[in-house]
């Protein structure tokens, strides 16, 4: 009995590894080059460059994927080579000519200083139209213009151990979100509370009378209140899981090697949904005030979840790791002594007698940017990593990694925004060397130098943030004005204006 209870609880806290059986997502996106359908007249992101999705032999596809950059940058072959230059580290932004990104969004990126062969960050900015799959009455919806929903979408994907997962997520995650919203189109446009159940098609499995299964009503004295907002949050969460499952299915084709952190923004029906799985970050700077819109998920911030899973399912530790944490690695000569430790239930520290099992390597070790799970990976949530193993071992790490994001919601209609109010998204290459307050100061400094109706001001701000984190070359390294080391990581930044004429019309 105890083992069954442990297994059940372990599944709840894991959020990773093999998920429970679930309905297959209809029309699973499987063509990265396909474009999301949009209603006539709806704004669109710039079209893909010719040949970006053309078929090629396997080796050619891998080579091209390695150099792939976001389509909206519209890079020429020469521009692509400059973007891939570790020595020059030229900042890349969309061209100042032609159609701008939705909401006049600003974007800038720069490659790392040699940390990996290519830039493993990816980005996506789309306007996606959702046609309803069915009406609340259960009858299929007749395709017709004007009855669907349109959402704006921004995504940053910070890849590791290869760029395949980040590239795949940048091309498909918004389509998974679109798919999850299809059942909600009519519900979200109806002011009444969401229905408890969607009616089944007559004759379909589950449509038969199940009244004999209803238990005593005393257990259900009232119905939980479910909001439209929570339905959108659930759709985004499900989309992340389906994206991760698709990566698991296609990892053997080398299309989704490695893994990636994912930071996504969805604007729908007046609200901004920020979903984060990883160590990227989003903040709103509004009238000088900083509003955090995400939490980083690292071995330190999720220590107790990881330790609880290791405690409940010790077989995942493979006899090589201990779920307990100690201030440092224990030496064999310290057996029998009392040393500081903490387990899955503790936020503080206590003393325990050192036993033989405590000599194993800790599940969570290190601190700050050097914190690791199983001495291998420094993030605890994201997409992919299905092939990730402990170094020199066959022990998988994926069961400890969760694909589920934390979703925060910001209601744009509750505040009158000015053109200087922005949502800043950045991969960890920005935040490793730049604080929230420094970003807010840069927002004020750069935007005040431009006219409020100048759409290029947000691209200039994104470029300033990237340049400020990169630094300048000096003494064979990249240095900040205070002579501290600049970021040697890939840096990608979106600046999304929350106010101003035409920003979200």
Q: What is the pLDDT of residues 376-386, one digit of tens each?
A: 999 999 999 99
Tell which wins on pLDDT, 248 or 57. 248
pLDDT the model gives residue 67: 73
Segments of 294-414 assigned E as strands: 321-322, 338-341, 350-353, 361-362, 364-365, 372-373, 383-384, 406-411
CA 315 to chain CA mean position, Å: 29
Burial 249-286 (b: 16+ CB within 10 A, else e): eebeeebbbbbbbbbbbbbbeebbbbbbbbbbbbbbbb
Residue 50 confidence (pLDDT) above 90: no
Q: 250: domain CATH number?
A: 3.60.40.10
| Long-range own/partner contacts, residues 299-305 (CB < 8 A, 24 or more apart) | 299/364, 299/365, 299/366, 299/371, 299/372, 299/373, 299/378, 299/380, 300/364, 300/367, 300/368, 300/371, 301/380, 302/380, 302/381, 303/364, 304/344, 304/345, 304/347, 305/13, 305/380
Segments of 345-404 assigned E as strands: 350-353, 361-362, 364-365, 372-373, 383-384
Q: Do 443 and 324 belong together in one domain?
A: no
pLDDT the model gives residue 220: 56
Residue 48 confidence (pLDDT) above 80: no
Q: Residue 467: name the closest of 496, 441, 495, 493 by CA.
A: 493
Q: Do 353 and 456 belong together in one domain?
A: no
Residue 243 lies in a domain: yes
Q: Do 409 and 349 belong together in one domain?
A: no
Residue 365 confidence (pLDDT) above 70: yes
Residue 46 confidence (pLDDT) above 50: no
Q: Do 339 and 460 belong together in one domain?
A: no
Q: What is the pLDDT of residues 391-437, one digit of tens each?
A: 889 999 999 999 999 999 999 999 999 999 999 999 999 999 999 99
Q: Do 234 and 320 belong together in one domain?
A: no
Segments of 4-120 assigned E as strands: 106-110
Q: Do 102 and 245 belong together in one domain?
A: yes
Q: Do 282 and 344 belong together in one domain?
A: no
Q: Which of 378, 412, 439 is the last residue of a domain?
A: 378
CA distance 157 to 154: 10
Least confident among 19-28, 119-128, 324-333, 427-436? 19-28
Residue 186 lies in a domain: yes
Q: Do 334 and 474 belong together in one domain?
A: no
Q: Do 306 and 293 belong together in one domain?
A: no
Tell which wins on pLDDT, 193 or 65. 193
Q: Which two tokens stand for residue 170?
A: 């940048």
Residue 323 lies in a domain: yes
Q: Residue 182: name the closest of 193, 201, 198 by CA.
A: 198
Please give the tally of structural domains in the chain: 2
Q: What average pLDDT does the chain have?
A: 84
Q: Do 371 and 470 belong together in one domain?
A: no
Q: Which two tokens stand for residue 169?
A: 């997520």
CA 123 to chain CA mean position, Å: 11
pLDDT the model gives residue 199: 72
Domain containing residue 108: 71-133+148-190+228-297+403-497
Least confident among 138-142, 249-253, 415-419? 138-142
Q: Do 262 and 306 belong together in one domain?
A: no
Residue 35 confidence (pLDDT) above 80: no
Residue 312 lies in a domain: yes
Q: What is the average pLDDT across 102-127?
A: 95
Residue 165 confidence (pLDDT) above 90: yes
Residue 41 lies in a domain: no
Tell which wins on pLDDT, 12 or 123. 123
pLDDT the model gives residue 57: 34
Using 50, 70 and 90 to split pLDDT, how confident is the model at 52?
A: very low
Tell me the three-class secondary structure of 123-157, residue by residue. EEEEEEEECCCECCCCCECCCCCCCCEEEEEEEEE
Q: Which two tokens stand for residue 400?
A: 């400890």
Q: Do 254 and 281 belong together in one domain?
A: yes
Structure pTM?
0.84
């Amino acid at each position: 009995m105890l083992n069954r209870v442990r297994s059940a609880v372990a599944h709840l806290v894991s959020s990773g590894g093999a998920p429970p059986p679930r309905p297959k997502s209809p029309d699973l996106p499987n063509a990265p080059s396909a474009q999301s359908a949009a209603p006539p007249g709806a704004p669109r992101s710039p079209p893909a460059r010719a040949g970006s999705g053309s078929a090629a032999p396997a080796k050619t596809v891998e080579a091209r994927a390695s150099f792939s950059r976001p389509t909206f940058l519209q890079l020429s072959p020469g521009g692509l080579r400059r973007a891939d230059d570790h020595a020059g580290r030229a900042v890349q932004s969309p061209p100042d000519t032609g159609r701008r990104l939705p909401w006049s969004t600003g974007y800038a990126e720069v490659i790392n200083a040699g940390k990996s062969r290519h830039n493993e960050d990816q980005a996506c900015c789309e306007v996606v139209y959702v046609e309803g799959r069915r009406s609340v009455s259960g009858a299929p919806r007749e395709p017709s213009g004007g009855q669907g929903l349109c959402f704006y979408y921004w995504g940053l994907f910070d890849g590791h151990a290869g760029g395949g997962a980040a590239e795949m997520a940048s091309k498909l995650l918004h389509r998974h979100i679109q798919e999850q919203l299809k059942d909600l189109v009519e519900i979200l446009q109806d002011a009444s509370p969401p229905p408890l159940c969607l009616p089944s098609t007559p004759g379909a499995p589950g449509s038969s009378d199940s009244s004999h299964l209803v238990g005593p009503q005393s257990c259900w004295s009232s119905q939980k209140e479910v909001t439209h907002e929570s339905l959108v949050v659930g759709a985004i969460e499900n989309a992340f899981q389906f994206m991760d499952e698709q990566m698991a299915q296609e990892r053997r084709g080398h299309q989704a090697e490695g893994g990636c952190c994912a930071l996504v923004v969805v604007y729908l029906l007046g609200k901004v949904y920020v979903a984060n799985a990883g160590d990227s970050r989003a903040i709103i700077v509004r009238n000088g005030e900083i509003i955090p819109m995400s939490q980083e998920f690292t071995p330190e911030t999720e220590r107790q979840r990881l330790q609880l899973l290791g405690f409940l399912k010790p077989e995942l530790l493979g006899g090589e790791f201990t779920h307990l944490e100690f201030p440092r690695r224990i030496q064999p000569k310290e057996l029998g002594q009392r040393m500081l430790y903490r387990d899955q239930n503790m936020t503080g520290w206590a003393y325990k007698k050192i036993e033989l099992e405590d000599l194993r390597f800790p599940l969570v070790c290190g601190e700050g940017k050097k914190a690791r799970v199983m001495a291998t990976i420094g993030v605890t949530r994201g997409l992919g990593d299905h092939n990730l193993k402990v170094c020199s071992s066959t022990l998988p790490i994926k069961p400890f990694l969760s694909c589920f994001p934390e979703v925060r919601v910001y209601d744009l209609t509750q505040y009158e925004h000015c053109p200087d109010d922005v949502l800043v998204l950045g991969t960890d290459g920005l935040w490793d060397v730049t604080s929230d307050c420094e970003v807010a100061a840069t927002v004020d400094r750069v935007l005040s130098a431009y006219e409020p109706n100048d759409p290029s001001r947000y691209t200039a701000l994104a470029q300033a943030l990237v340049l400020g984190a990169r630094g300048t070359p000096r003494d064979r390294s990249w240095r900040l004005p205070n002579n501290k080391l600049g970021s040697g990581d890939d840096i990608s930044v979106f600046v999304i204006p929350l106010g101003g004429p035409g920003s979200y019309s």
